[in-house]
Amino acid sequence: MKLIIASNNAHKVTEIKAILSPFFNEIVTLKEAGIDIDVEENGTTFCENAVKKATEILAAVPFADAAISDDSGLMVDALNGAPGVYSARFAGDGHDDEANNRKLVEMLKNVPQDKRTGRFVSAVALARREKDTLTAEGSVEGIILNEGRGENGFGYDPLFYYEPLNKTFAELTADEKNSLSHRKKALTALYELLSKEV
């Protein structure tokens, strides 16, 4: 069974291989497969985007038995779930993490600490030939700070305070973050779904 990962992100690839290798004897990235596809993520939910990407990649790669994709982002309660699926382009197309973080801080400047709750959400989709597409989600609860802390991570990690460890996601070590991340939870849930089929 050959699985293609709809990503070239080294960390995602390592995580997916570690969790799903019992079900696939070959796992390759788009780059390793010599595929260059840019799927437009225009869904209204993380799950819709993940499914669209996985199914389009599988359709374009005839030698793969399955394709896996994920979509993730930050949902803030005081902003009715924003930035959500627009997390990467919250400050507009072509903007970077810094601009996105600035916009988030500005929008929450008058929101009291106890109302600054939010979560990182990840949806994964596994598209397969002759079988239903499997989906799973994972999330991590946190509080959005007024200013960033920490040098690790990316995106909204410096503003995302994780109470159980008294650290922002940008202050966690790679091992700490990987052990509790929203994507890890989603992949673990997908693993459980696959295990039930065996």
Q: Which residues are designated catalytic? A: 71
- The C-alpha atoms of residue 195 and residue 185 are separated, in whole angstroms, by 15
155 exposed, middle or buried (CB, 10 Å; 0-12, 13-18, 19+)?
Answer: buried
User: Residue 140 region, left (φ>0) first, then alpha (ψ -120 to 50), else beta?
Assistant: beta
Query: Are the beta carbons of 109 and 146 closer than 8 angstroms?
Result: yes
Which stretches within 35-96 are classed as H helix? 46-60
* Residue 12 DSSP SS3: helix
